[in-house]
Amino acid sequence: MAATILIVDDEQDLVDSLRYNLEREGYDVLDAGDGPRALELVNRMPPPDLVLLDLMLPTLSGTEVCRQMRLDERTRTIPVIMVSARGDEIDRVVAFELGVDDYVVKPFSVRELLLRIRAILRRQQSGDARSGGELTHERLRIDLDGHWVWVDDEEIELTALEFRLLAALVTRRGRVQTRDVLLADVWGSEVDVTTRTVDTHVQRLRRKLGPAGSYIETLRGVGYRFLGVDEGREDPRRSGVLRPVAVAGLGSR
pLDDT for 99-125, tens place per residue? Answer: 788 889 988 899 999 988 988 887 766
pLDDT category at 12 given cuts 50, 70, 90 is: very high
Asked whether residue 115 is domain-assigned, the answer is yes
- In this structure, are 229 and 141 located in the same domain? yes
Question: Nearest-CA neighbor of 49 among 62, 30, 36, 34?
Answer: 30
Those residues with Cβ within 8 angstroms of residue 18's Cβ, 6 or more apart along the chain or in another chain: 7, 9, 29, 52, 110, 113
- In this structure, are 134 and 97 located in the same domain? no
pLDDT of residue 126: 56
pLDDT for 125-151, tens place per residue? Answer: 655 444 457 788 888 989 887 788 999
Asked whether residue 86 is domain-assigned, the answer is yes
Asked whether residue 163 is domain-assigned, the answer is yes
In terms of residue numbers, what domain contains 19? Answer: 4-125
- In this structure, are 137 and 94 located in the same domain? no
Number of domains into which the chain is organized: 2
For the ranges 1-5, 21-25, 196-200, the maximum mean pLDDT occurs at 21-25
CATH of the domain at 210: 1.10.10.10
pLDDT of residue 231: 44
- In this structure, are 183 and 228 located in the same domain? yes
Question: Nearest-CA neighbor of 168 among 142, 150, 138, 146?
Answer: 142
Instruction: Please tell me the least confidently modeled range out of 32-41, 90-99, 112-121, 225-234.
Output: 225-234
What number of other Cβ atoms are within 10 A of residue 200's Cβ?
18
CATH of the domain at 31: 3.40.50.2300
Domain boundary among 125, 145, 179: 125
- In this structure, are 198 and 218 located in the same domain? yes
pLDDT category at 62 given cuts 50, 70, 90 is: very high
- In this structure, are 202 and 215 located in the same domain? yes
pLDDT for 166-197, tens place per residue? Answer: 988 988 887 788 888 888 778 775 556 677 88
Asked whether residue 34 is domain-assigned, the answer is yes
Asked whether residue 252 is domain-assigned, the answer is no
pLDDT at 79 over 80: yes
d(CA 137, CA 217) in angstroms, rounded, equals 14
pLDDT of residue 229: 47
- In this structure, are 78 and 151 located in the same domain? no
Asked whether residue 230 is domain-assigned, the answer is yes
- In this structure, are 84 and 195 located in the same domain? no
CA distances in angstroms from 114 to 15, 80, 90, listed in the order given: 14, 14, 25
Those residues with Cβ within 8 angstroms of residue 196's Cβ, 6 or more apart along the chain or in another chain: 89
Instruction: Please tell me the least confidently modeled range out of 57-61, 71-75, 98-102, 193-197.
Output: 193-197
- In this structure, are 116 and 100 located in the same domain? yes
Asked whether residue 159 is domain-assigned, the answer is yes
pLDDT of residue 234: 36
8 A C-beta contact, residue 190 and residue 119: yes
What is the rounded average pLDDT for all residues in the chain?
81
CA distances in angstroms from 10 to 7, 18, 20, 23, 154, listed in the order given: 10, 13, 16, 19, 40
Domain boundary among 109, 125, 141: 125
Higher pLDDT, 62 or 227: 62
d(CA 180, CA 34) in angstroms, rounded, equals 36
Question: What's the mean pLDDT in 76-80?
Answer: 87
Backbone φ and ψ for 230, nearest 5 degrees, come out as -115, 90
Domain boundary among 85, 100, 125: 125
Higher pLDDT, 242 or 146: 146
pLDDT category at 27 given cuts 50, 70, 90 is: very high
- In this structure, are 151 and 170 located in the same domain? yes
- In this structure, are 107 and 146 located in the same domain? no
If you compute the radius of gyration of the chain from its CA atoms, what whole number of angstroms results? 19
